[in-house]
A and B are shown apart, each in its own frame.
Chain A
Amino acid sequence: MTDVSHTERADTVWVERDALIDRIPRWLAMTILFVAVVAIWDLVTRMGWVSPIILPSPRETLDDLIFVGHNLVTGDYMLGALWTTTLTVIYGFLIAAAIGFSLGVLVGETKFGERAVMPYLVAIDTMPKIAFAPLFIAWLGFDISSKVALAAFIATFAIVVATAAGLYAASENERMLFKSMGASRFQTLIRLKLPTGLPYIFTGLKIASVGVMAGAITGEFLGGGKGFGALIRQSASQMNTPRVFALILYLSLLGLALYFTIAWAQRRFVFWNKSERQGAIG
């Protein structure tokens, strides 16, 4: 054996080097971006390039964040508004999940659903659903129920499509296995198709959670009432832009809470496909 090390030159050795971004921890990258955005924001407002009514300074926004936060913590009227919106979102989400899942099973499992029901669902889904808001208010009045209905209506379709797609996801081999074991259609649905479709269904629920938020707030914009959406509209009409910013930031916490609750449930119930969870299925 000859020693090859003395013949190795630096430019013949191929060493994999991480890109700079890979060597920075994620929290640091996020912090750097956050500081940069706030710095530019501060600069833009400080130099008077934009009117404070359009874009308040970070300082004013922080003051309002503290004000709204204090109001929420002390259980003042804003907490009541947030609670109203939270209930609207939860009810809307549960109704959308129940109806969406049922229709999804109908579409995914039956020829009737696939051929007769699905075309109508697609037709309704392509409409701008926000436009139904005045109808829901006319039918259900100005209290929470019209907002719940709009939120559920907007969110349902994502769950229908995801559930139907999930039921188609079982492979030909798996179907044949169940057939060879003499499984009934119901057994195949419960023991094979639904578990196989769970990752899809959870993805549908995540998309629906975004739709529910949009529906609830739009309903509160248009139909008034006691929710957070009404507070935002009120502040906007008073040209209190920092307050609007602060309210939106707190509102986003509600959306995040819903989203991460679903993500947590997905990790809990779809424990088996770790690779897919990080992939396209989300």
Chain B
Amino acid sequence: MTMVKTRPLSAEPVAREARPVYEIERLAKTYARNSLTALTDVNLTLRKGEFVSVIGSSGCGKSTLLKIMAGLLPPTRGRVVLEGQPVLGPRPDIGMMFQQATLLPWKTTVENIVLPIEIRSGRGAAKAAMARARDLLQLVGLGEFGNVYPGELSGGMAQRAAICRMLIADPAVLLLDEPFSALDELTRDFMNMELQRICMERQATAFLVTHSLAEAVILSDRILVMQARPGRIVEDVPIDLPRPRTLEMINTPRFGEIVAHIRNLLGREAFA
């Protein structure tokens, strides 16, 4: 096996000294049915206010990692600790966003946003959260659309509503599973900038799964590069582009260097 030389990118990430929010140790996942090792020995710490992305080819285990972190899937070995408490199932302090907005068509936008409250604390609490839901809609620029049904929203608007639903319970961490990959490229760029603004305003801790290199670089403080068979993290790449990031940074030499470095790590596997 020939090792392609990649120049390590050294830089101090923004939030290295902040308080840890997520701590994952020696995590492994084996699917018993086909004895497939989806993840092996994953160690990772997410600090307060940090934006971390995980990138890798399909089948590298990144979705499995996210599901375990979300408490939707139990790990085979290892531990996941969020805010000092082990994750043993879905939790209200985890906010999630999926590839599809998944808004319920029989509820208005604002009713969809308070759905997590309604499920956990009942209709009364959901009613009480309506005002907060409207503030969040304002935050994502959908102030006028609270009483509209999702059928009347565009794809980008629906995903912005999904952002509000994720934020309504004020979660400690945001888990983003390719949230904008179903959108067209222009909308996607715009949504990424919106996501950055929202995360910076709220000092949110976020974990993004994506296949888009540009998206990962423009949004993240660190990128975890994963390889498959068995799924593992091969490098933790700090992104030293200044904040706030702009779409113009895509044209800078530094951006190009980082992308080339990660592509090299990924490509080594793809053509192995």
A interface with B by C-beta (< 8 Å): 171, 173-174, 176-183, 187, 191-192, 195, 271-274
Cβ of B203 within 8 Å of any chain A Cβ, yes or no, is no
Q: Are B94 and A174 in contact (CB under 8 A)?
A: no
Chain A CB within 8 A of B116 CB: yes
On whether the beta carbons of A180 and B96 are closer than 8 Å, the reply is yes
Interface residue B89 (Cβ < 8 Å from any Cβ of A) = yes
Q: Given the known A-B contacts A173-B98, A182-B90, A195-B106, are A272 and B72 also in contact in the complex, defined by CB atoms under 8 Å?
A: no
Contact call A272/B149, Cβ cutoff below 8 A: yes
In chain B, residues 73-115, which have Cβ atoms closer than 8 Å to a Cβ of chain A?
89-92, 94, 96, 98-100, 102, 104-106, 115
A180–B70 touching, CB < 8 Å: yes
> Could you say which residues of chain A place their CB within 8 Å of the CB of B102?
171, 173-174, 177
- Please list the 5 inter-chain residue pairs (A to B) with the smallest Cβ-Cβ separation, ordered nearest first: A272-B105, A182-B90, A181-B119, A180-B96, A173-B102
Question: Could you list 18 examples of A-B contacts with CB < 8 Å?
Answer: A173-B98, A173-B100, A176-B72, A177-B96, A177-B98, A180-B71, A180-B96, A181-B90, A181-B115, A181-B116, A182-B119, A182-B120, A191-B118, A191-B119, A271-B106, A272-B105, A272-B106, A272-B151
B103 → A minimal CB distance (Å): 9
CB contacts under 8 Å to A, within B171-224, are: none
- CA–CA, A220 to B40, complex, Å? 71
Question: Which of B116, B119, B120 counts the most chain A CB atoms within 10 A?
Answer: B119
A178 to B112, CA, bound (A): 12
- Asked if A173 meets B99 with Cβ closer than 8 Å, knowing A181-B120, A182-B90, A182-B119, the reply is yes
B80 to chain A, nearest CB (A): 15
Closest chain A residue to B169, Cβ basis: A181
Chain B residues, CB < 8 A from A271 = 106
For B228-243 the 0/1 string (1 means CB < 8 A from A) is 0000000000000000
- A195: chain B residues at CB < 8 Å are 104, 106
B134 to chain A, nearest CB (A): 20
The interface residues of chain A lying within 8 Å CB-to-CB of B119 are: 178, 181-183, 187, 191
Partner among B91, B99, B104, B149 whose Cβ is within 8 Å of the Cβ of A192: B104
Complex Cα distance A173/B162, Å?
Answer: 13
Residue among A177, A178, A182, A191 with most chain B CB within 10 A: A177
How many angstroms between the C-alpha atoms of A187 and B120 in the bound complex?
Answer: 10
B91 touches which of A182, A187, A272 (Cβ 8 Å): A182
Whole-angstrom distance between the alpha carbons of A177 and B179 in the complex? Answer: 13
